[in-house]
């Protein structure tokens, strides 16, 4: 077991900085490291715009792991790429904010100097004045480049495809290190060996001269993690990092990420469709469906008291062990709608057993904040809408009952 709650005051030689919690950081713990507000990322194709991310709002607290979960095509990977400014053509962020906060209220972001994108109007709270809106930065500009790979790093789905087969592991590691840290090639090489050793690669110095096609999938993913943590990022975005790996290697990669997080106190945005992984690694869970967030809460709340019908359906589809193991997993009827043929109203209503006719199929569901801070996007938790729908049904019944044939 890794005691992530224990205070960390040791000096981490690999990252070259004090990992202890100082007073400035402690005073700023309540402010999330990353806050995404009403983010919309669309892809403009010949048949029309694809709303891959359609109004996503979520936060990533400091030192915590937030898992984004959902079926394929729900927009979870595009959300992560939007944060990094890595959305490929013909896609782009069309609306919303991605507020990135430095480690403490006095520290300036790597974007440099006083933040030119400081919050204004309702965003001008004192605690947020140093937040940088990543969505407003040029994806190819120097300001975002200094943050990307330095303060925020990403581990991608396919490690074999993410590493270039034309360059050695050493060349790719050294390039990343020297891009963000002032080091000689010799020092960067030494740090690269330390990083490979840290992520559990045996004979690290020998592997530095290897090419990606000479390594297994698990080894390549460890190299990708080493590259991602080379500059000691505050946020690591892991986009399904265990998808292409066998079960044993998956468990080792998850344990490795948890160990690194415990050592460095970094935050993680972990993108996955595997609810078993979510239960193991998450502090908070964000459930997405067709580009929208339908529910978010702590991992305990989501697994033991799911609110949204889609979340309940996802959990009911998981094979269970022990008590109830003989109960067959339930399937979610229907299919995820095509992005260019989105249903009116709630995007999940064609597959939902609790859909209210005349409500769920006509209007966008509201996001309701529950008393404990949880958020769910469903009309079932909006008393006014449910009451109005019930009155409408009663009126229809009364009218039909009083009509003579």
Tokens of 314: 């996802």
Tokens of 201: 């690669």
Whole-Å CA distances, 347 to 93, 248, 283, 376:
21, 36, 27, 14
pLDDT band for position 326 (cuts 50, 70, 90)? low
- Measure the CA–CA gap between 373 and 9, rounded to whole angstroms: 32
Q: What's the average model confidence in pLDDT over 158-181?
A: 92
- Measure the CA–CA gap between 48 and 40, rounded to whole angstroms: 15
Range of weakest confidence among 79-88, 156-165, 179-188, 209-218 = 156-165
State the residue for tokens 């559990």. Answer: 200
- Measure the CA–CA gap between 375 and 8, rounded to whole angstroms: 32
β-bridge pairing 292-298 and 267-272: unpaired
Angle between helices 247-264 and 217-228 (to 10 degrees): 10
Give percent above pLDDT 70 in the chain.
79
State the residue for tokens 């709270």. Answer: 125
Could you report the per-residue pLDDT of 337-396, keeping only the tens digit for each?
Answer: 888 889 999 999 999 999 999 999 998 999 999 988 899 999 999 877 666 655 555 444
pLDDT at 232 exceeding the cut of 60: yes
Residue 39 pairs in a beta bridge with 56
Find the Cα–Cα–Cα–Cα dihedral 213, 216, 222, 226, rounded to 10°.
Answer: -20
pLDDT at 111 exceeding the cut of 70: no
- Measure the CA–CA gap between 374 and 321, rounded to whole angstroms: 28
Per-residue model confidence (pLDDT) at position 141: 92
Q: What angle do CA 283, 372, 28 make, to 5 degrees?
A: 60
Please check whether residue 264 is in contact with residue 295, taking contact to mean a CB–CB distance below 8 angstroms.
no
Please check whether residue 348 is in contact with residue 357, taking contact to mean a CB–CB distance below 8 angstroms.
no
Tokens of 176: 């990343």
Rounded mean pLDDT of the chain? 83
3-state class (DSSP) for residue 210: coil
Per-residue model confidence (pLDDT) at position 344: 93
The number of CA neighbours under 13 Å toward the Cβ of 350 is 12
């Amino acid at each position: 077991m890794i005691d992530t709650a224990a205070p960390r005051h040791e000096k981490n030689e690999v990252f070259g900085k004090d990992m202890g919690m100082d007073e400035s950081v402690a005073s700023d713990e309540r402010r999330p490291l990353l806050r995404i507000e009403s983010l919309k990322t669309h892809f403009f194709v010949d048949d029309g715009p694809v709303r891959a991310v359609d109004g996503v709002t979520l936060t990533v607290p400091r030192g915590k792991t937030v898992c984004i979960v959902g079926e394929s095509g729900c927009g979870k990977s595009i959300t992560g790429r939007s944060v990094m400014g890595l959305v490929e053509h013909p896609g782009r962020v069309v609306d919303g904010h991605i507020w990135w906060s430095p480690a403490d209220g006095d520290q300036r972001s790597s974007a440099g100097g006083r933040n030119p994108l400081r919050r204004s109007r309702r965003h001008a709270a004192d605690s947020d004045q140093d937040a940088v809106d990543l969505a407003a930065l040029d994806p190819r500009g120097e300001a975002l480049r200094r943050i990307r790979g330095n303060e925020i790093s990403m581990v991608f789905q396919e490690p074999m495809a993410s590493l270039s087969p034309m360059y050695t592991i050493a060349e790719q590691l050294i390039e990343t290190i020297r891009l963000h840290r002032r080091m000689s090639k010799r020092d960067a090489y030494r740090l690269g060996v330390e990083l490979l050793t840290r992520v559990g690669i045996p004979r690290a110095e020998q592997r530095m001269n290897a090419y990606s096609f000479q390594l297994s999938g698990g080894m390549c993913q460890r190299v990708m993690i080493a590259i991602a943590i080379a500059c000691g990022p505050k946020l690591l975005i892991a986009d399904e990092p265990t998808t292409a790996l066998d079960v044993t290697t998956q468990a080792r990669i998850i344990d490795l990420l948890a160990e690194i997080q415990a050592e460095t106190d970094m935050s993680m945005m972990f993108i996955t469709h595997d609810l078993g992984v979510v239960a193991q690694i998450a502090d908070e869970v964000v459930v997405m469906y067709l580009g929208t967030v339908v529910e978010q809460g702590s991992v305990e709340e989501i697994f033991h008291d799911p609110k949204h019908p889609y979340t309940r359906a996802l959990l009911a589809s998981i094979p269970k062990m022990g008590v109830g193991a003989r109960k067959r997993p339930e399937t979610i009827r229907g299919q995820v709608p095509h992005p260019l043929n989105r249903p009116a109203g709630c995007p999940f209503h064609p597959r939902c057993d609790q859909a209210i006719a005349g409500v769920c199929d006509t209007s966008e569901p509201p996001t309701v904040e529950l008393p404990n801070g949880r958020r769910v996007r469903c009309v079932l938790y909006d008393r006014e809408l449910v009451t109005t729908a019930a009155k409408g049904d009663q009126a229809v019944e009364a009218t039909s009952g009083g009509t003579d044939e």
